[in-house]
Amino acid sequence: MPLDLILMGPPGAGKGTQAKILSRRLGIPHVASGDLFRDHLHRQTPLGQLARQYMDRGELVPDDVTIGMIRERLEQPDCRDGVILDGFPRTPAQARALDEMLSEMGRSLVAALYIRVREELLLRRLAGRWTCRTCGAVYHIEFNPPRIPGQCDLDGGALYQREDDTEEVQRRRIQVYQEQTAPLVSFYRDRGLLVEIDGEQPIPEVTAALLQAIEIRRTTDP
C-alpha cells in the first residue's frame, strides 16, 4: 500500500523542514502546495499570476485552483509509492477532495501528522527563516544556521527570505490558519488518522518522533 502522509501545523511549525528529511529517509516525494505555487510564480504561468494576489496577502488561493494543481501532481509517476503532503489540505473542502482523489486511485491516508507549536514561537521562527533558491532547503538564522552564512549546506545555493515572510503577512497567515485550517485537526482526529507531535523539540527529535509514529501507523494499517 502506498505511504500517503500529510504534515499539518501552523506556518512556521517545521512542516517543510521535516518533510524534506522524511522524503529522503522514506524515499517518497515531498509535495508542498506552497512550493508548487512559488514554482508557478517563478515561471510566470497564469496560475502563478493568480496565486500571487493571495500569497502576497497571506490569504488562501481558491480551493478549485489548489485542488486541481495537487491532483495533477499526485498523478505523476513518482507519487506511485506514496507522498508527503505539506501545506495541503488547508480547508475542509481540500480535505474532502483529497479523500476522493486518493480513493479514486485505490489509496488512502496512512496518517495526518500534526506538528504542534505554540503561537508565540511561530513569528520568531518565520522571521529567521532563510530558504535555498535552488533546492528549497530551509534554514534558520538562529535555530538551524547554514555552515557558511548565506549559502546552502547541500548545494551551495544562495539563501533568500521569502517575500511573504514580512511580519504583517506572517501574522495574517497564522490568523488564516486558525480560522480555516485548524478545524482539520478534529476532522482527522474523528477519522482516527491524527498523530500529534511536539514541534517545540529540536529538529532531530521531531524527526525521530515522526518516524516512530509513521512506523506504528504503517504496521497497524489494515
Tell me the Ramachandran region of residue 210: left when phi exceeds 0, alpha when psi lies from -120 to 50, beta otherwise.
alpha
Binding to ligand ADP, residues 112-151 (CB under 6 A): 125, 128-129, 138-140, 143-144
Whichever of 29 and 34 has its CB closer to ligand ADP, that residue is 34
Radius of gyration of the chain (CA): 17
Rounded CA separation 40/51 (Å): 8
> What residues act catalytically?
15, 90, 129, 162, 173
55 sits near ligand ADP (criterion: CB under 6 A): yes
**Which residue is associated with the grid cell 524527526?**
207
Sheet of 30-32: strands edge to edge?
Answer: 30-32, 82-86, 3-8, 111-116, 194-198
At its nearest, how many Å lie between ligand ADP and the CB of residue 110? 19
58 sits near ligand ADP (criterion: CB under 6 A): yes
111-116 and 82-86 as β-strands: parallel, antiparallel, unpaired? unpaired
At its nearest, how many Å lie between ligand ADP and the CB of residue 219? 26
Closest CA to 139 of 152, 148, 130: 130
At its nearest, how many Å lie between ligand ADP and the CB of residue 82? 19
Contact footprint for ligand ADP (CB under 6 A): 9, 11-17, 33-34, 37, 54-55, 58-61, 66, 87-88, 90, 94, 125, 128-129, 138-140, 143-144, 164, 173, 202-203, 206
